[in-house]
A and B are shown apart, each in its own frame.
Chain A
Amino acid sequence: MFEELSVFALGFAATFLSMPVVIQRMRKHRIVGVDVHKKDRPVIPEMGGIAVLLGLTVSVTVTAVLMPEKTGLLASFFATTLIAGVIGAVDDIKTLNAKVKPLLTALASAPILLMRTYSPYPVFPIVGAVRLTIVYPLLIPFAIAVPSNAVNMMDPFNGTMSGTCTIVTLVLLFSSLILGRSDAALLSICLLGPLLVFYYYNRYPAKVFSGDIGSLSIGAALGAIAVLGQLEAVAVVAFAPQIMNAFYGLATVGRLYERREVSRPVTMLGDGRLMASTDPKAPITLARVTLARGPLYEYEAARVFIVLASIAGVLAVLTAYLTMVTP
């Protein structure tokens, strides 16, 4: 227990101390983005994900020192997250092609495959353990690319990406405790501290944006926890809002796309409220579906996302329980 608390506290502290420095540096170097859903369109520092990665570096290092037997697991987890973060950083500086990004993030799964830290016997509710020695390694690149890109696509309002990912991490932590998966619990604790701090800075009104460095690395980290901790089915349910958002967008546009290539799904009214676009060419994203029933202020729309992630979280914990009772 002492080890887990130390990991959480040090990851939290490292991100909390580094975030103001990152914000200052980004502002100084003009690495900023416009918050388009505010009337005064404030300029917000980007790439806050750097502080999350710094915090994760600290928490993973502390875990490796306290539990040296977990070094292989931690190394594959951290290397996967770091590769996704580097791809995100490149995308933040020089925008990558919409088709290249998923391919590159799939490559981030290489450490897990090369170090063979996965188990090809996933456990599903009702079905139980399944032997997938040939198919499972082929699915791992998808298990990293899908969550990292889905998380990257679900960042429409202040605090939605950070808030929903914090909930997913908590759900993975609870589920790992229910199922007795100590590896998944440890990795979730490593990620939880940095994510909580990031949510504090990113919630409405945002003081920092994650940038692709943050969203891709956080998504890859969550995918890696699902694979390394054997929480595949739980993660699919917990990720339902992110999957919904990405899937609807792709289904309406009919191909992989960059945000700049398509019409905006959300427009702003004169009073600052946000409204679903009526443009038939705009992708049907979760934000657009949320606003279809009428305009909302940004903080209200963000709250709907958090509630939705919480409901998906409850269903995911229920999935974990069903997995546990499956003979």
Chain B
Amino acid sequence: MIRRILDFVFVLLFIWACMILGLWVIDSAIVPLQLLGVTDDVMTAILKVAISGAMVLVWLWIWREMVKRMFWRAVKSQRHSVDNLQSNSQSKETAEHGKLQERQMKG
């Protein structure tokens, strides 16, 4: 249970930190940006919004990829543990079967 929650805590913390960092980048780098060759104020504002929008899209993409990987990794590890359980129970069954056969032979 704790492992499941920790997975999400990690994602949430990362996404929150990225959001705060992104806001800082927008405030300190994108807003004061002077674009070379662009003199029109409206055009400058549109370009700044476009750059910020692209940053949001990258943020969302990272978020999606993180969870996708987390999900399939968890599914795989779950499958492994199920396979291990099955193979363990199979080997136990084979061993018990062998012992039974030995007893029958001795008998």
Q: Which A residues are closer than 8 A to B by beta carbons?
A: 124-128, 135, 236-237, 240, 244, 247-248, 251, 276, 278, 284, 288-290, 292-294, 296, 300, 304, 307-308, 311-312, 315, 319, 322
Closest residue to A284 on the B side, CB-wise? B71
Main secondary structure of the interface of A (DSSP, over half): helix
Question: Would A293 and B4 count as touching, CB distance under 8 A?
Answer: yes
Question: Would A127 and B26 count as touching, CB distance under 8 A?
Answer: yes
Which residues B11-37 have CB closer than 8 A to chain A? 11-13, 15-16, 19-20, 23-24, 26-27
Question: Would B71 and A292 count as touching, CB distance under 8 A?
Answer: yes
If A311-B9, A311-B12 touch, whether A300 touches B1 (CB-CB below 8 Å) is yes
Q: Which of B9, B20, B60, B77 has the most CB of A within 10 A?
A: B20
**B100 at the binding interface (Cβ < 8 Å):** no
**B106 at the binding interface (Cβ < 8 Å):** no
The answer, among B1, B5, B7, B67, for a CB contact under 8 Å with A248, is B67
Residues of chain A lying within 8 A (CB to CB) of residue B99: none
The answer, among A236, A288, A312, for a CB contact under 8 Å with B12, is A312
Give bound CA distance, A284 to B71, whole Å.
8
Residues of chain B lying within 8 A (CB to CB) of residue A322: 20
Give bound CA distance, A290 to B7, whole Å.
9
Question: Would A315 and B71 count as touching, CB distance under 8 A?
Answer: no
Residues of chain B lying within 8 A (CB to CB) of residue A288: 71
The answer, among B1, B5, B12, B75, for a CB contact under 8 Å with A315, is B12
Residues of chain B lying within 8 A (CB to CB) of residue A293: 3-4, 7, 74, 77-78
List 24 contacting pairs A-B, 8 Å CB cutoff, sorted by A: A125-B23, A126-B20, A127-B23, A128-B27, A135-B49, A240-B12, A240-B16, A247-B63, A276-B75, A284-B68, A289-B8, A292-B74, A292-B75, A294-B78, A294-B81, A304-B4, A304-B8, A308-B5, A308-B8, A308-B12, A311-B5, A311-B8, A312-B12, A319-B20
**B64 at the binding interface (Cβ < 8 Å):** yes
Residues of chain B lying within 8 A (CB to CB) of residue A312: 12
Residues of chain B lying within 8 A (CB to CB) of residue A284: 67-68, 71
